[in-house]
Chain A
Amino acid sequence: MPNYDLKEVKALDYKRPDIVNGYSDQTLYLNLSDRKIAIKPVTEKTKKTFIGGKGYNLWLLWNAVQPSTKWNDPENALCIAAGPLGGTPIYPGSGKSIVATLSPTTASVMDSNVGGYFGPYLKFSGFDALEIQGKNAKEVVVFIDGVNQKIKIYETSGLPQNAYELSAVLTEHFAQGKPRNISVVSAGPGAKNTLIGCLNFTWYDAKRKRARYKQAGRGGVGTVFADKGLKAIVACWNNVTAETNNPADKARLKNVAKLHSREIVDLDPKQNEMAKICTTHLVTIMNDHDLLPTHNFRYGQHPQAPNLGQEVYRHLFDPGFDGCWMGCTVACSHGIKDFVPLTGPYKGKKVFVDGPEYETIAGCGSNLGIFDPHTVAEMNFYCDAYGLDTISVGTGIAFVMECFEMGLINETHTGGPALHFGNRLGALELVHQMANAEGFGQIVGQGVRKMKAIFAKDFGADPNIMQDIGMEAKGLEFSEYMTKESLAQQGGYGLALKGPQHDEAWLIFLDMVHNFMPTFDQKAEALHWFPMFRTWFGLCGLCKLPWNDIIPEDNKDAAEPAKVIKHVQWYADYFSAITGNEVGPDDLIKMSETVYNFQRLFNLRMGFGRRRHDDIPYRAVGPVTEDEYESRTERYDNQLVKTYKVDIDGKSTAEKMATLRKHREGQYEKLKDAVYKRRGWTSDGIPTRKTAKRLGIDFTEVIELLKANGVNS
């Protein structure tokens, strides 16, 4: 046990309000610069407009920052919230927290969702959201003690640096013999020393007797956390039942929760076995359909991909119940017990790895040309412990490896290692360097967008080719799906508010495999409905997996199977039962539409949120190199001839590539037009005044913002 010190420097006693219909109706405010602790009421208008979760975070953040605010300014706020349905233990997937802040890599609004117990414990302690501004010169731990109704700020010394040990130490310190009552949020040295830091949110695994964690990974939220001088935030709560949210209609809640929960228990074993293998089944499925990114998204398939598939991880995962929230029957948070790393500070020691899931396997495995499941597990372990986002790490190192293979950078720049694809030790060494602020890892930890600028300015690398192969948009690294053959998913990534993360829309199978949306209007409709419905989970504190990863047996006979409308209706019932506000499926979309458009306007306010900001690198659209084209010549030639009516006789590969690029980029621009129109935005991608008014977000500040950007109707 490390010799550490926690010195209390500020405390506030408060009276915990009763939770009424899923809400505490107040938020907790902390300013670390002057150690102010305050409790703010939530107005009825805020509640009606923003619903909760991400909606509350965005409103708090909007009021905290100015258009000129940078991610590391003291006024940048880090906000964490659950949502009105969050914390219900009988409905599957009801334990999510949402984090929002201004991002170090995009300079605009970032949101990231995560499991673990923190969000529900925060709410049950009396706060629908937590907002933290300011900075402390010394590292601090914030303790939200809902049981004893106290908020405390401690200055700390001697605590472990990495989240793996820190989570265990702080759980034990605050638990007073009841570790299940504790949830710890922490980052790690990687978050402090890079711009791609994640946050780890814990829950206590009673069977394995250890604090385990999930990650709010995207956009450097952990970096903001560390920059504020936060070492950890700890929440304490006890006694969670179906009635803790004080639902408006308990019988209705229990009925709909039982339906969904039992269906998962019945059908998951017959479908994707999430309770045994989580999302690892996707690896070979994506590979079979040419959708698994390999070698920096060059290709979608590799013969060694089965080495990273579920058949391998099925045997590596430690069997047992793995729900990241109480009572969740999806129970997909699997891990590897007694894993022994080959590198780094835990070399030769037994550790528990939380994961990996599909994104980490593809990002830190196939996309790096690494097909060794143990290297992926080790990357997973160290990224979590250091507080690094496995997606940005994977996509970032993939970019580095391709630059190395193209000769854009060399050993002089990397500090020695030949960072070819497949260099397992090289990839791991970069992760350790990022955590320790050493060597070339310091540059890689800046993220792809900044790497492109550094490689061009300092190493003389060609900026045009890096623009094509650097897989970022809006400053965020792509998550791990190939999009070249799915125009709808190009939009799913490119038009996503925070950058290319698949949590807004995952349309690859519907579009490419099933061809369910051949027209622009159909694609635009999908790029309206799916982002809106998926946004709703973030407003309410829910996980989306129970919606469409375990599917009713009669769903295939539904008019639009992809929407899984039976479950959408259950979610409307769930919302009605908790909050007492009677809603139907269309109301859920309207709730999201309000917050979604507000976030787009927030981007505009920060200097983004226009058409040009929805551009994506050409690697996401089509073949950048001749090797890529020639690896799938038949596909590309056919498209040129049959779809675009081009005479390719006698044309070189380079000529055909140029023609294909012109057409494919043109298609993406047409998609933007169709989606903007469907969403009620201008052709420059800005919500119109009419849209803002329809959604009730035509605040004075919003109207002035629109006017300043030339939008007057």
Chain B
Amino acid sequence: MIQVAGKQLPWHEGMTVSELLNELNDPHPYAVVRINERYVSRPNFEQTIIPDDAEVFLIPLIAGG
């Protein structure tokens, strides 16, 4: 299981960030997520694998300086 935005979700081996976002069916155009303490940006969503027991935070907007 992983925790995503405070909710428990099933996890599977090799699960990528892209797969997770597709499963969430959330239309918001997330550009960044945080897996535990690691930030992952959209260009790396497809190749970033989420580990089991991870906590995933959906970063709503990057507002900058």
Question: Could you tell me which A residues sit within 8 Å of B by CB distance?
Answer: 270-272, 279, 281-282, 284-285, 288-289, 309-311, 314, 358-359, 479, 481, 502-503, 506, 508-509, 513-514, 548-549, 551, 553, 555-556, 561-562, 564
Is B10 part of the contact surface with A, judged by Cβ < 8 Å?
A: no
Using CB atoms, name the residue of chain A closest to B40. A288
Residue of A272, A284, A289, A564 with highest tally of chain B CB at under 10 A: A272
Contact of B41 among A289, A548, A549, A553 (CB under 8 A): A289
Q: Is the CB of B63 within 8 A of A548?
A: yes
29 pairs, A vs B, C-beta closer than 8 Å: A270-B6, A271-B57, A271-B59, A272-B59, A284-B41, A285-B39, A285-B62, A288-B40, A288-B41, A288-B42, A288-B43, A288-B44, A289-B31, A289-B41, A309-B39, A311-B37, A358-B65, A359-B65, A479-B65, A481-B64, A509-B62, A509-B64, A513-B42, A513-B62, A553-B60, A556-B60, A556-B61, A561-B60, A561-B61
Closest 7 CB pairs of A and B: A288-B41, A506-B64, A548-B63, A556-B28, A502-B65, A551-B60, A509-B62
Residues of B within 8 A of A481 (CB): 64-65
Is B50 part of the contact surface with A, judged by Cβ < 8 Å?
A: no
- Closest chain-B Cβ to A506's Cβ sits at a distance in Å of 4
Residues of A within 8 A of B28 (CB): 556
Q: Which of B1-35 contact A (CB under 8 A)?
A: 5-6, 28-29, 31-32
Q: Is the CB of A506 within 8 A of B63?
A: yes
Using CB atoms, name the residue of chain A closest to B27. A556
Report if A506-B65 is in contact (Cβ < 8 Å); known contacts: A271-B57, A285-B32. yes
- Closest chain-B Cβ to A209's Cβ sits at a distance in Å of 29
Residues of A within 8 A of B65 (CB): 279, 282, 358-359, 479, 481, 502-503, 506
Secondary structure class of chain B's binding surface, majority of residues: loop
| Bound Cα distance from A408 to B13, whole angstroms | 55
Using CB atoms, name the residue of chain B closest to A506. B64
Q: Which of B42-63 contact A (CB under 8 A)?
A: 42-44, 57, 59-63
Residues of A within 8 A of B32 (CB): 285
Q: Is the CB of A514 within 8 A of B39?
A: no
Report if A314-B57 is in contact (Cβ < 8 Å); known contacts: A509-B62, A556-B28. no
Secondary structure class of chain A's binding surface, majority of residues: helix
Residues of A within 8 A of B38 (CB): 311
Using CB atoms, name the residue of chain A closest to B60. A551
Q: Is the CB of B39 within 8 A of A289?
A: no
Contact of A555 among B31, B37, B61, B62 (CB under 8 A): B61
| Bound Cα distance from A133 to B42, whole angstroms | 51
Contact of A548 among B5, B6, B44, B61 (CB under 8 A): B61
Contact of B39 among A281, A358, A548, A556 (CB under 8 A): A281
- Closest chain-B Cβ to A562's Cβ sits at a distance in Å of 7
Residues of A within 8 A of B44 (CB): 288
Residues of B within 8 A of A284 (CB): 39, 41
| Bound Cα distance from A562 to B28, whole angstroms | 12
Residues of B within 8 A of A502 (CB): 64-65
**Besides the contacts A272-B59, A561-B61, what 16 more A-B pairs have beta carbons closer than 8 Å?**
A270-B5, A271-B60, A285-B32, A288-B42, A288-B44, A289-B41, A289-B42, A359-B65, A509-B31, A509-B61, A509-B63, A509-B64, A514-B31, A548-B61, A549-B63, A551-B61
Q: Is the CB of B41 within 8 A of A285?
A: yes
Using CB atoms, name the residue of chain B closest to A516. B29
| Bound Cα distance from A288 to B41, whole angstroms | 6
- Closest chain-A Cβ to B21's Cβ sits at a distance in Å of 13
- Closest chain-A Cβ to B11's Cβ sits at a distance in Å of 19
Q: Is the CB of A514 within 8 A of B29?
A: yes
Residues of B within 8 A of A479 (CB): 65
| Bound Cα distance from A314 to B39, whole angstroms | 13
Residue of A271, A279, A311, A481 with highest tally of chain B CB at under 10 A: A271
Residues of A within 8 A of B62 (CB): 282, 285, 509, 513
Contact of A314 among B5, B37, B60 (CB under 8 A): B37
- Closest chain-B Cβ to A276's Cβ sits at a distance in Å of 9
| Bound Cα distance from A358 to B39, whole angstroms | 15
Residue of A279, A508, A509 with highest tally of chain B CB at under 10 A: A509
| Bound Cα distance from A554 to B29, whole angstroms | 14
Residues of A within 8 A of B57 (CB): 270-271
Residue of A288, A481, A508, A562 with highest tally of chain B CB at under 10 A: A288
| Bound Cα distance from A359 to B61, whole angstroms | 19
Residues of A within 8 A of B63 (CB): 506, 509, 548-549, 551, 562
Report if A508-B41 is in contact (Cβ < 8 Å); known contacts: A514-B29, A514-B31. no
| Bound Cα distance from A655 to B39, whole angstroms | 39
Residue of B5, B28, B63 with highest tally of chain A CB at under 10 A: B63
| Bound Cα distance from A481 to B64, whole angstroms | 9
Residues of B within 8 A of A562 (CB): 61, 63
Residues of B within 8 A of A551 (CB): 60-61, 63
Residues of B within 8 A of A271 (CB): 57, 59-60
Residues of A within 8 A of B41 (CB): 284-285, 288-289
Residues of B within 8 A of A282 (CB): 62, 64-65
- Closest chain-A Cβ to B65's Cβ sits at a distance in Å of 4
| Bound Cα distance from A284 to B31, whole angstroms | 13
Using CB atoms, name the residue of chain B closest to A514. B29
| Bound Cα distance from A310 to B40, whole angstroms | 12
- Closest chain-B Cβ to A693's Cβ sits at a distance in Å of 34
| Bound Cα distance from A92 to B20, whole angstroms | 34
Q: Is the CB of B60 within 8 A of A555?
A: yes
Residues of A within 8 A of B6 (CB): 270
